[in-house]
C-alpha cells in the first residue's frame, strides 16, 4: 500500500470537490407548483435565491392553499438541487454518496 499515493489522491479529490462545490453554488434550479403560480429558485447547494408568487395564488380566505403551494414548490426545487448536486459530485466520487457532502 502506497500511503504517499493515497494522500496525493485524497488531496486531488478534495481540490476537485471544492471546485465542484463552487460550481454548484452557481447552478440555479427552479421548483414550481400550482401550474407556475408559485416558483422558488435556489442554488444546487440549497440556497434560496428567489420566490415568486402570482397574484392569483393569493386568496386571503384560503391561506392554507398558498402555504401548500409554497411547500410544494420548495420540495420541487430541493429535489432538482439534490439531483444536480448528485450528478456533479457523483462524477468525482465514482457514484459513491459521501454523507458529509451536500
What secondary structure letter does DSSP report for 97?
Answer: P
Residue 41, C-alpha cell as written in the block: 429558485
Choose the weakest-confidence range: 23-27, 72-76, 78-82, 94-98.
94-98
Residues 6+ positions from 79 with CB-CB distance below 8 Å: 31
Unique residue bearing C-alpha cell 454548484? 24
Does residue 63 register a pLDDT over 90?
A: yes
Looking at residue 40, what is its pLDDT? Answer: 98
**3-class secondary structure, 62:** coil
Report pLDDT for 68: 97
pLDDT for residue 98: 52
Report how far residue 70's alpha carbon sits from residue 48's, in angstroms, rounded to the nearest whole number: 13
Structure-model confidence comparison of residues 97 and 60, the more confident one: 60
Domain coordinates in residue numbering, the chain: 26-93
Q: What is the pLDDT averaged over residues 44-48?
A: 91
Percent share of the chain, pLDDT over 90: 54
User: What pTM was computed for the model?
Assistant: 0.76
pLDDT at residue 85 tops 90: no
Q: Which CATH superfamily is domain 26-93 in?
A: Nucleoid-associated protein YbaB-like domain (3.30.1310.10)
Please, which pLDDT band fits residue 97 given cuts at 50, 70 and 90?
Answer: low
Q: How far is CA 67 from the centre of its chain?
A: 21
φ and ψ at 11, to 5 degrees? -65, -40
Amino acid at each position: 500500500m502506497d500511503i504517499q499515493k493515497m494522500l496525493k489522491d485524497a488531496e486531488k479529490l478534495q481540490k476537485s470537490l471544492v471546485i465542484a462545490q463552487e460550481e454548484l453554488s452557481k447552478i440555479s434550479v427552479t421548483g414550481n407548483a400550482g401550474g407556475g403560480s408559485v416558483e422558488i429558485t435556489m442554488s444546487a447547494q440549497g440556497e434560496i435565491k428567489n420566490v415568486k408568487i402570482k397574484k392569483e395564488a393569493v386568496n386571503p380566505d384560503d391561506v392554507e392553499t398558498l402555504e401548500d403551494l409554497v411547500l410544494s414548490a420548495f420540495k420541487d426545487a430541493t429535489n432538482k438541487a439534490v439531483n444536480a448536486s448528485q450528478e456533479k459530485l457523483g462524477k468525482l466520487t465514482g457514484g459513491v454518496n459521501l454523507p458529509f457532502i451536500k
